[in-house]
């Protein structure tokens, strides 16, 4: 069978049937266009995934932890009510009630922990942005896969139309068409789950590419991690004297209160504490004490070696991020420019195509191939843009006035009739 559809291989159909087929196709196309969605809709309306919501919760927790560690303070309020009944030799039996309330305030200047928590906060912010970037990437790719799947279904329908009815090739063509249809339906179900109904509409928008910052977005986080590792290594020198404390206490039995304060070093970290208690006391007294805890064992060398390795790794990661960043930005930007140039070339070829001349199966296949190549170039541009945004830690956005001019109808109705 030649490329032109062999009408003699089919039973003749009345003219009214062809008119009805064309009318249905036009109605379906207009209805789908009313509910079609494009890349700009994806950027504006894609909901946050479960992954993104988890990262948002993790970011909120990291902010709370960092705030507490920067302050270095802790507080606790304790109450101990009691009811007692007793007697002794000299006093008659009596029923008494007592209550004790204790307030504890503590402060520890743990700079290493604060730096690590700050670094984890920066990492949580980056992960939250990355999760949202990934949401939009997945949705944009889903949109592109829908476009490709629609082309694949049309191609399968054209191939089936060119097969001899009842032949093995026709049976294979029907099976392939059904599989393509099911794949398209599955993708549309994914799109509906995101709130996008109807067909995918191609729209060659231009993505806004944020300017690359002067340094890798990871540099500040890695710098904090290195400083924390250095402080942890320096603190090992205090391991033989993990605690040195100056305590002061005043207790008043007659007035029913007690105040205690402390200053000291906890593994070399300045610490202070204040405790007040209201309730029955045992005596009227005051006390000042200086104490220390001394530990001598054989683990110092091992601890120094582990700390040195952590410092080495942190410094190497910081140096790598600082020296390789410019090259990575240039490569990512070049990938976007190349993908955009290829897409523009494919769009130019698409605009040059003449849908009016598509009166054969071969011509319709050529149009489908051109359309498919354009969608493939679009998906490559989406991937390249994502790569650039990952490097600069940017967010997806459409450039103002970045949409391309309207494209010609990629698949004329006469091709739809041939494949019907």
Domain ranges for the chain, please list them. Answer: 7-55+118-220+310-418, 73-108+241-294
pLDDT tens per residue across all 420 residues of the chain: 333 333 333 333 333 333 333 333 333 333 333 357 899 999 999 999 999 999 999 999 999 999 989 888 777 777 777 665 555 555 555 556 667 888 888 888 889 999 999 999 999 999 999 999 999 999 999 999 999 999 999 999 888 887 888 889 899 999 999 999 999 999 999 999 999 988 898 988 899 999 999 889 999 999 999 999 999 998 888 888 888 999 999 999 888 889 999 999 888 889 999 999 888 888 889 999 998 888 887 677 788 899 999 999 999 999 988 888 999 999 999 999 999 999 999 998 888 877 767 677 788 888 889 899 999 999 999 999 999 999 999 999 999 875 655 566 666 666 766 655
Beta bridge partners of 285: 251
For every residue of 141-181, DSSP letters joined together read HHHHHHHHHHHHHHHHHHHHHTSPTTSHHHHHHHHHHHHHH
**What local confidence, expressed as pLDDT, does residue 77 receive?**
74
**What local confidence, expressed as pLDDT, does residue 3 receive?**
39
Residue in 196, 184, 107 with CA at minimum distance from that of residue 151? 184
**What local confidence, expressed as pLDDT, does residue 57 receive?**
96
Do 56 and 128 contact (CB within 8 A), yes or no?
Answer: yes
**What local confidence, expressed as pLDDT, does residue 90 receive?**
59
Tokens of residue 91, six digits: 């006093």
- Tokens 């709130």 locate to 195
Distance CA 141, CA 379 (A): 7
**What local confidence, expressed as pLDDT, does residue 340 receive?**
96
**What local confidence, expressed as pLDDT, does residue 32 receive?**
38
Question: Is residue 9 classed exposed, middle or buried when 0-12, 13-18 and 19+ CB atoms within 10 A define those classes?
Answer: exposed
**DSSP E strands: which ranges in 279-325?**
285-293
Distance CA 46, CA 194 (A): 6
Do 83 and 97 contact (CB within 8 A), yes or no?
Answer: yes
Residue in 128, 71, 75, 77 with CA at minimum distance from that of residue 101? 77
**What local confidence, expressed as pLDDT, does residue 97 receive?**
65
**What local confidence, expressed as pLDDT, does residue 255 receive?**
86
Distance CA 403, CA 118 (A): 41
Backbone CA torsion sign across 334, 132, 202, 209: negative
């Amino acid at each position: 069978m030649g490329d032109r559809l062999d009408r003699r291989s089919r039973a003749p159909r009345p003219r009214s049937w062809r008119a009805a087929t064309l009318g249905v196709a036009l109605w379906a196309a207009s209805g789908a266009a009313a509910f079609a969605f494009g890349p700009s809709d994806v950027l504006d309306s894609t909901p946050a995934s479960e992954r993104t919501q988890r990262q948002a919760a993790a970011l909120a927790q990291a902010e709370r932890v960092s705030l507490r560690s920067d302050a270095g303070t802790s507080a606790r309020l304790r109450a101990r009510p009691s009811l007692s009944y007793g007697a002794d030799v000299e006093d008659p039996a009596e029923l008494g009630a007592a209550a004790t309330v204790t307030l504890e305030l503590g402060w520890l200047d743990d700079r290493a922990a604060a730096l690590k928590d700050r670094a984890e906060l920066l990492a949580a912010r980056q992960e939250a942005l990355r999760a949202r970037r990934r949401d939009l990437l997945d949705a944009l790719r889903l949109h592109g896969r829908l476009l490709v799947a629609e082309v694949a279904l049309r191609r399968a329908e054209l191939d089936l139309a060119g097969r001899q009815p009842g032949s093995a090739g026709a049976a294979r063509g029907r099976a392939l068409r059904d599989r393509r249809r099911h794949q398209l339906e599955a993708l549309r179900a994914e799109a509906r789950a995101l709130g996008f109904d109807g067909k995918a509409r191609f729209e060659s928008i231009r993505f806004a590419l944020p300017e690359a910052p002067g340094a890798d977005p990871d540099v500040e986080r890695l710098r904090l991690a290195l400083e924390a590792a250095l402080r942890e290594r320096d603190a090992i020198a205090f391991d033989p004297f993990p605690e040195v404390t100056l305590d002061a206490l005043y207790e008043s039995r007659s007035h029913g209160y007690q105040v205690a304060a402390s200053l000291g070093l906890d593994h070399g970290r300045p610490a202070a504490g204040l405790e007040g208690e209201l309730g029955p006391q045992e005596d009227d007294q005051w006390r000042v004490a200086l104490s220390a805890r001394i530990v001598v064992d054989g683990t110092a060398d091992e601890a120094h070696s582990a700390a040195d390795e952590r410092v080495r790794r942190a410094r190497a990661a910081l140096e790598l991020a600082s020296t390789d960043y410019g090259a990575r930005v240039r490569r990512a930007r070049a990938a976007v420019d190349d993908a955009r140039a290829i897409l523009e070339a494919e769009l130019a070829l698409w605009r040059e195509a003449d849908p009016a001349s598509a009166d054969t199966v071969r011509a319709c296949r050529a149009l489908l191939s051109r359309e498919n190549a354009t969608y493939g170039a679009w998906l490559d541009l989406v991937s390249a843009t994502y790569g650039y945004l990952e490097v600069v830690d940017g967010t997806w956005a459409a450039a103002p006035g970045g949409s391309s001019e309207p494209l010609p109808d990629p698949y004329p109705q006469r091709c739809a009739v041939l494949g019907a």
